[in-house]
């Protein structure tokens, strides 16, 4: 489903051969796997996530592609288990808006990035768009109640242009660039055969 989204983030991040890359909230391995294919044997990609189960899937997917430069690390983005100045590039596909304390996580990320390194994030846009209206909107219409719990996580916290940029600048990132893109997110259709009479 998220292939076009992953490709957009990888193109924007522009990983180069030999880079050491950290992918935060990597889940089942994207964009870390795609990036590992680009940085080559001299590079290294570390997929980090809180879930050991998801990371196991990511590891298996990387092994299926013969990637020896792909590592997994179960850890919290708010307390990264890496030395200062360890990475040339950081990415996160739909992870930053779920961080408990994005400001703290970004400060930690700043610590482990080398001078001149880039950090590239992809966050959800506003709720009012076809994807959410057709999926979450239908579910919410049947279930009712508040769409988001008061005081709870807000996955749309960076939907407003400039919000993520301001948070990055507060964490010490410079030359921050933000843009809004519309990319396809296609649900694979299930084929259902009509019942047969015998």
Q: Confirm whether 75 is domain-assigned.
A: yes
The length of the chain, given as a count of residues:
198
Domain range holding 161? 3-143+151-170
Q: Which residues pair with 93 in a beta bridge?
A: 122
CATH number at residue 110: 3.40.50.150
Least confident of 83-87, 127-131, 137-141: 127-131
Q: Confirm whether 198 is domain-assigned.
A: no
pLDDT at 90 over 80: yes
**pLDDT 10s digits, 65-87:** 999 999 999 999 999 999 999 99
CA atoms within 13 A on the CB side of 93: 23
pLDDT at 109 over 80: yes
Determine the distance from the C-alpha atom of residue 129 to the mean position of all C-alpha atoms in its chain, rounded to a whole number.
20
pLDDT at 131 over 70: no
Q: Confirm whether 184 is domain-assigned.
A: no
Q: Confirm whether 181 is domain-assigned.
A: no
CA dihedral sign, ordered 142, 148, 153, 155: positive
* pLDDT at site 167: 94
Q: Confirm whether 180 is domain-assigned.
A: no
Q: Confirm whether 178 is domain-assigned.
A: no
Q: Confirm whether 182 is domain-assigned.
A: no
Mean pLDDT of the region 12-17: 97
Q: Confirm whether 189 is domain-assigned.
A: no
Q: Is 35 helix (H, G, I), strand (E, B) or coil?
A: helix
pLDDT at 189 over 60: no
pLDDT at 194 over 50: no
Domain count of the chain?
1
């Amino acid at each position: 489903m998220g292939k076009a989204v992953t490709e957009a983030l990888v193109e924007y991040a522009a990983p180069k051969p030999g880079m050491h890359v950290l992918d935060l909230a990597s889940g089942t391995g994207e964009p870390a796997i795609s990036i590992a294919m680009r940085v080559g044997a001299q590079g290294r990609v570390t997929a980090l996530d809180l879930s050991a189960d998801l990371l196991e899937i990511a590891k298996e997917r990387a092994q299926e592609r013969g990637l020896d430069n792909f590592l997994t690390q179960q850890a919290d983005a708010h307390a990264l288990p890496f030395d200062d100045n360890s990475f040339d590039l950081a990415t996160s596909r739909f992870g930053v808006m779920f961080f408990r304390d994005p400001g703290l996580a970004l400060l930690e990320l700043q610590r482990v990035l080398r001078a001149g390194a880039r950090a590239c994030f992809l966050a959800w846009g506003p709720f009012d768009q076809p994807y959410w209206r057709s999926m979450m909107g239908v579910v919410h219409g049947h279930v009712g109640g508040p769409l988001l719990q008061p005081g709870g996580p807000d996955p749309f916290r960076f939907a407003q242009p400039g919000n993520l940029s301001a948070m990055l600048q507060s964490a010490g990132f410079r030359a921050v660039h933000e843009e809004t893109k519309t990319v396809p997110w296609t649900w694979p259709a299930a084929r259902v055969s009509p019942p047969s009479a015998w």
